[in-house]
Structure 1
């Protein structure tokens, strides 16, 4: 019967906690962020401090601080980088075999079953090649989301936005968002809805292949602070059904084009 080697006898620190952290980060963050963290780890604590100083997302900055504490405690920087990349690759394989994932924003628990909303949305937008559909009630987006949508539009992705509008809902308090992004903009006119009705769906569909459906609006609070839950559905069946339903409403005049 084989035994796991004693790390202390091999001169390698006991990094069970670091291994757990690598798995947690791979579940929460997009692959591109894990790659940055691994590269920073190879440079040791100075590399992580530099990444923390320049990272836009709070999740990446928090990961830098947690990883720094392990390196300060004696963990090998090359081993830490390898753990991160190995966990990230394992997570990619897992996602390729599973068609539904739970996505959360909010406090962490002892049950690690999901990924962060901000990471999933960023990854989805970055993966788009042909078209993006975003539906939301409120839209006060973080700068990172606006930048990601701008990059998608710049590479030729057709962006369609269906957002609640003050003119269509007297109780809605919000302005026009993403003004600099070239997009097809739809609305649900006041005259086409029941009194008091709100455009309350929160949906992102990528290339009619992947859909994220949940409670999170396109806001900084929904991505980083609130308690939010969504389901990420891979495969065209559900994505096509969502797009088909909204296309049908637009063709019937229930949804109309803005501008």
Structure 2
């Protein structure tokens, strides 16, 4: 997430920020890049990007082959440190497994990071090729059921700011990109206490999500249940799974309240 100079603390370390930006620049579409490609991705000069890459190579986080850079497995340690310290496996996955054991398909927990939805827990029995909900995956919040529920939980001013700054991206031909339409959808999710999506993130995904609340009743995360569009409708999801999904959200909220580390890890 880019910060304005006014948002940076006095002891902000630009070098560290640049190094983390380099790591985040690699994704499914940019699995390996040249120096100039990395520089463009992080909006930095080639010399600055080179220093970051060489530092990360020395630390074992980045490798190089034929003038193209790629991430090394050591990067996974950064994500696993969060996963282990927040006790995600122990505290969140049991509820997701209960949902999947009952209905099949998949269930996830996610939270907001700027304009994106980040998956922090996931259980699935699905094996088809489609947009992945693996831990740490991030997608535009407006195109996911989890993201829409989380956006619905924002204060009005924060929602207005999000809609003003966002650039809606069509991930399928069904993805809603009109800002007025998105506002109406998000406000309806706020009124309903849940959100549904059909083929918004990827073809074949129909999903239902509900909010997870923190100790102050603020929305800190969301949990969903998703399946194949050809076998499910939003109405069927709501009818069959909404009660169980809300029960899971209540149980996760109670777990968050009991474990301060988890609360701090997924809270605002």
The TM-score bracket by the shorter chain reads 0.3 to 0.5
Superposition TM-score, scaled by structure 1 size: 0.35
Question: Higher relative CO (CA 8 A, sep ≥ 6), structure 1 or 2?
Answer: 1
Superposition TM-score, scaled by structure 2 size: 0.34
Q: Which has the larger radius of gyration?
A: 1
